């Protein structure tokens, strides 16, 4: 008897939690209504007292923090090659385990693939682990959101631009020369610090604009400004990761380029920190 009542009470609580009214619940069980009602009222009061929600600012901040951890963990070919090694290990392990229950031809094919994978890794991993400083400088320059935005604005496809890096001093500074692949004309110069893994200056030959690192404005401030634009908000709320930020600040104008990443997708957001507004968004 008590067990039956506990079942009914439990079912009514489920219904209340799903949004059904107290009266509807009681109508289902008229015989137990008198006993159910006071308990369901307490259940409703408890549910109401438990209806708290996290602060919206906290939700945004927590989502961004987790997002950066999530996308950092994603296995991809990065300099250093460790995630790739892990991925390779797991693939090899999975492949070997899978061999046990398969037909002979499948085993042969799988073995060939494993061998090919191992050979491929032998050729690729040393290259990744030992990426040359020149190649790293070129990669950092062309991946910089400020450089990308400038090239887009000047109608140069960043992927089509030739580049060549030279060491600027005895330390970690490199100049990366951006060349137009059509006529090999110099487009601009990007100064990269490979130790800090950042672009410190962008100079275009056409025009006198010289761009440098961001000063007097934090990444959080820039993200806040960017979020004022509905499209950026939509992208960030869809778990995009905030990537690198680059300054296009000169005496004439002050612009910040911010990169947003979501899986393979990438957006470049151009922001005017003085006016506190988004100038444009490029999807790459």
Partner 1 sequence: MQQEESLVRRAQQGEPEAFAQLYEVHFDRIYRYIVLKVRNQADAEDMTQQVFLKALESIGSYRWRGMPFSSWLFRIAHNQVVDYFRKRRKEKTLPLDETRAVSSADPTLLAEQRLMMEQVAVASGQLTEAQREVISLRFAGGLSTAEVAKVMGKSEGAVRVLQHEALVRLRRILSSSNEEANG
Closest CA to 134 of 192, 196, 203: 192
Burial annotation 38-67 (CB, 10 A radius, 16+ → b, else e): eebeebbeeeeeeeeeeeeeeebeeebeeb
CB 84 within 8 A of CB 75: yes
Site for partner 1 contains 53 (CB under 8 A): yes
Site for partner 1 contains 222 (CB under 8 A): no
Which residue number, 13 or 165, has a Cβ lying nearer to partner 1?
13
Segment interacting with partner 1 (CB under 8 A) among 10-18, 161-169, 182-190, 243-251? 10-18
Site for partner 1 contains 50 (CB under 8 A): yes
CB of 11 to partner 1, least distance (A): 9
Q: How many residues bind partner 1 (CB under 8 A)?
A: 40
Site for partner 1 contains 73 (CB under 8 A): yes
Binding mask 13-42 for partner 1 (x = CB under 8 A): xx--x--------------------xx-xx
283, β-bridge pairs:
267
Binding mask 234-253 for partner 1 (x = CB under 8 A): -----x--------------
Site for partner 1 contains 46 (CB under 8 A): yes
The whole-angstrom separation of Cα 154 and Cα 156 is 6
CB of 195 to partner 1, least distance (A): 29
265-272 β-sheet, strand order:
241-247, 256-262, 265-272, 277-283
CB of 39 to partner 1, least distance (A): 5
Q: Could you say which DSSP state residue 131 is in?
A: -
Can you give the C-alpha Rg of the chain in angstroms? 29
Site for partner 1 contains 98 (CB under 8 A): no
Site for partner 1 contains 166 (CB under 8 A): no
CB of 55 to partner 1, least distance (A): 6
Which residue number, 86 or 206, has a Cβ lying nearer to partner 1?
86
Residues 6+ apart with CB under 8 A from 234: none
The whole-angstrom separation of Cα 220 and Cα 234 is 17
CB 256 within 8 A of CB 217: yes
Look up tokens 């778990």; give the residue.
Answer: 239
User: What does the binding site for partner 1 look like in residue numbers (CB under 8 A)?
Assistant: 3, 5-7, 9-10, 13-14, 17, 38-39, 41-43, 45-55, 58-59, 62-63, 65-67, 69-71, 73-75, 239, 263
């Amino acid at each position: 008897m008590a067990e039956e009542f506990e079942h009914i009470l439990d079912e009514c609580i489920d219904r209340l939690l799903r949004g059904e009214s107290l009266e509807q619940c009681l109508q289902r069980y008229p015989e137990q209504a008198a006993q159910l009602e006071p308990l369901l009222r307490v259940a409703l009061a408890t549910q109401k007292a438990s209806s708290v929600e996290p602060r919206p600012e906290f939700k945004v901040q927590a989502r961004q923090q987790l997002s950066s951890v999530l996308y950092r963990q994603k296995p991809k070919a990065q300099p250093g090659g460790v995630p790739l090694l892990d991925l390779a290990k797991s693939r090899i392990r999975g492949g070997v385990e899978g061999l046990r229950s398969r037909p002979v031809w499948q085993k042969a094919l799988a073995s060939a693939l494993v061998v090919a994978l191992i050979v491929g890794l032998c050729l690729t991993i040393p290259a990744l682990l030992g990426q040359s400083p020149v190649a790293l400088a070129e990669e950092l320059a062309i991946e910089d959101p400020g450089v990308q935005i400038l090239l887009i604005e000047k109608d140069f496809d960043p992927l089509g631009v030739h580049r060549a890096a030279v060491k600027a001093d005895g330390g970690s500074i490199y100049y990366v020369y951006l060349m137009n692949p059509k006529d090999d004309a110099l487009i601009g110069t990007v100064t990269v610090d490979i130790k800090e893994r950042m672009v410190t200056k962008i100079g275009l030959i056409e025009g006198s604009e010289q761009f440098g690192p961001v000063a007097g404005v934090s990444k959080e401030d820039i993200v806040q400004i960017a979020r004022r634009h509905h499209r950026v908000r939509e992208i960030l709320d869809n778990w995009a990761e905030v990537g690198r930020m680059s300054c296009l600040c000169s005496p004439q104008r002050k612009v910040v380029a911010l990169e947003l990443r979501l899986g393979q997708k990438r957006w470049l957001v151009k922001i005017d920190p003085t006016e506190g507004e988004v100038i444009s968004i490029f999807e790459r």
